[in-house]
């Protein structure tokens, strides 16, 4: 009679905790009484079924079926998710049972009733840890996101452990059971490693997809902002001119308060109108950053730019051409300003398209350059500071030649002029939504 009571308690606790652990997927707590009542009824039936001469593997399968049916009735979850959680839970439970049975009953010949008492005592802290651990809740939540592709692993583990349970209670030799246990645990370990690797791969793939989506959103946002600024660039520029005219009229008609007000608002308008928005991030960054450098150095820089951003000209080639050109111009203008005055030095950049030809023209103040016998520019050093008309120009030539382009230079009246023409092909681009 004692054995029947212990079996009932073990089956009851196993069913009840299995159902409640599945319920934690939905954070269900209002159905506990229903789960306990159903678990008690099915535990009595399984206890009678287990003592009617049926094998332990059949009893384990019946126990799984009971947990799945009750959980489906209470929580209405997907069958694959129920199978995945139920098999995982019972695999851990039954593996503990069979290993403790082999060690205590088969190896040390402990009476069956003491083994049942040992199991009952061991399950109390196990169940407490199962439901009190927040880490367990996180594992269940993460595990449930990938059950459609890995539910086979806990199902295979349950089948293997059920067979081992049947062999243990059928009285197979202990040596045979030891070998089967080692083989089964090794296979189970490999299967779990594969499932974990799959979950890790899925997470990394989701992370990459999220990063790619964020990148696309950032590009779309930049394109939208760029379109808005480019559409208003001419308006800002013209508004700046209109303010200058109004300022002159205010001075003419002796309206000092109006002049002061115009002076207070003209500065931010000048800053906005000086920004370049071409549609190409590379072009925008290089030109605007060099404009700031020229402004800080007291060098006047004027720009007249109409850049066709939907071309096959690569960003790295544009970076090479424009950055080297403007850095050369800034360095040369700075050297010339030390000889004359910063007010007399300037940089003029023009970018235009003529059908499928891109024209880049740069004029900057510069001391007279020197050439080799082959007609190449020679780097001129002044106080250990090189003018960047050396390797920079060679890099520009290499980038220009990729697009069947031509680079020409000229010098007159302290002005160094560089003209670049490149052929390009238009490419289709989705117009950004405004």
Taking the chain (434 residues) in runs of 10, the rounded mean pLDDT of each run is 82 82 65 66 74 76 89 85 89 90 90 90 79 66 74 89 90 89 89 84 84 75 62 60 73 77 66 60 81 87 80 84 89 85 83 88 87 61 46 82 90 90 73 40
Q: Helix H segments across 26-151?
A: 32-50, 56-75, 79-100, 112-132, 134-144, 147-150
Whether 38 is in a domain gets the answer: yes
The secondary element (H helix, E strand) that includes residue 415 is strand 415-423
Residues 151 and 23 in one domain: yes
- Does some domain include residue 195? no
**CA distance linking residue 75 with residue 79, whole number of Å:** 11
300-305 and 415-423 strand pairing: unpaired
134 and 22 belong to one structural domain: yes
Distance CA 304, CA 299 (A): 17
Residue after which a domain boundary falls, among 115, 137, 172: 172
Where in the sequence is the domain holding 49, given as residue range(s)? 2-172
Residue 362, pLDDT score: 93
Residues 284, 168 within the same domain: no
Question: Per the domain annotation, does 350 fall within a domain?
Answer: yes
Burial call 116-146: b when 16+ CB within 10 Å, e when fewer? beebeeebeeebeebeeeeeebeeeeebbeb
Q: Nearest Cα to 231, choosing from 79, 30, 432?
A: 432
- The Cα–Cα gap between 309 and 312 comes to 9
Q: Residue 388: its pLDDT value, please?
A: 41
271 in a structural domain = no
Domain boundary among 172, 188, 205: 172
The domain that holds 284 is classified in CATH as 3.30.565.10
- The count of domains in the chain is 2
Residues 296, 147 share a domain: no
pTM exceeds 0.85, yes or no: no
Does residue 325 lie within any of the structural domains? yes
329 part of a folded domain: yes
Q: How far apart are CA 345 and CA 333, in angstroms?
A: 6
Question: What contacts 174, CB < 8 A, 6 or more positions away?
Answer: 102, 106, 107
Which residues, in sequence order, are CB contacts of 354 under 8 Å at separation 6+?
A: none
Same domain, 16 and 145: yes
Final residue in a domain of this structure, among 117, 145, 172: 172
Q: How far, in Å, CA of 381 to CA of 361, rounded?
A: 25
- Confirm whether 160 is domain-assigned: yes
Q: What's the CA gap between 93 and 365, in Å, rounded?
A: 84
Residue 35: the pLDDT is 63
Strand partners, 301: 347
In a domain, 203, yes or no: no
How far apart (Å, rounded) are the C-alpha atoms in residues 68 and 58? 15
Does 291 share its domain with 416?
yes
């Amino acid at each position: 009679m004692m054995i029947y009571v212990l079996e009932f308690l073990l089956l009851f606790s196993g069913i009840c905790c299995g159902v409640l652990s599945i319920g934690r997927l939905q954070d269900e707590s209002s159905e506990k009484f229903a789960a306990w009542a159903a678990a008690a009824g099915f535990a009595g039936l399984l206890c009678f079924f287990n003592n009617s001469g049926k094998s332990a593997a059949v009893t384990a399968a019946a126990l799984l079926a009971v947990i799945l049916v009750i959980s489906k009735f209470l929580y209405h979850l997907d069958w694959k998710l129920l199978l995945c959680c139920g098999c995982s839970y019972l695999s851990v439970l039954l593996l503990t049972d069979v290993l403790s049975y082999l060690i205590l009953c088969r190896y040390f010949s402990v009476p069956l009733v003491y083994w049942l008492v040992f199991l009952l005592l061991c399950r109390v802290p196990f169940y407490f840890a199962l439901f009190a651990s927040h880490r367990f809740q996180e594992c269940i939540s993460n595990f449930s996101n990938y059950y459609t592709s890995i539910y086979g692993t806990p199902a295979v583990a349950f089948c293997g452990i059920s067979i081992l349970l049947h062999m243990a209670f059928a009285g197979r030799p202990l040596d045979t059971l030891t070998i089967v246990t080692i083989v089964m645990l090794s296979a189970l370990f490999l299967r779990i490693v594969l499932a974990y690797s799959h979950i890790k791969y899925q997470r990394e793939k989701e992370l990459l997809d999220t990063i790619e989506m964020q990148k696309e959103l950032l590009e779309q946002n930049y394109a939208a902002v760029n379109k808005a600024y480019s559409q208003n660039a001419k308006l800002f520029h013209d508004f700046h001119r209109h303010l200058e005219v109004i300022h002159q009229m205010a001075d003419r008609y002796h309206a000092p308060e109006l002049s002061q007000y115009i002076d207070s608002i003209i500065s931010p308008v000048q800053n906005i109108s000086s920004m370049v928005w071409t549609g190409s991030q590379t072009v925008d960054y290089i030109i605007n950053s060099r404009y700031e450098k020229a402004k800080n150095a007291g060098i006047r820089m004027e720009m007249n730019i109409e850049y066709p951003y939907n071309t096959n000209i690569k960003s790295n080639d544009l970076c090479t051409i424009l950055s080297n050109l403007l850095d050369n111009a800034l360095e040369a203008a700075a050297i010339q300003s030390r000889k004359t005055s910063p007010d007399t030095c300037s940089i003029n950049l023009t970018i235009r398209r003529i059908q499928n030809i891109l024209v880049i023209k740069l004029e900057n103040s510069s001391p007279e350059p020197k050439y080799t016998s082959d007609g190449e520019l020679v780097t001129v050093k002044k106080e250990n500071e090189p003018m960047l008309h050396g390797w920079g120009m060679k890099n520009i030539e290499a980038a220009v030649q990729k697009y069947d382009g031509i680079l020409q230079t000229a010098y007159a009246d302290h002005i160094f002029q560089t003209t670049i023409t490149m052929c390009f092909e238009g490419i289709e681009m989705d117009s950004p939504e405004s």
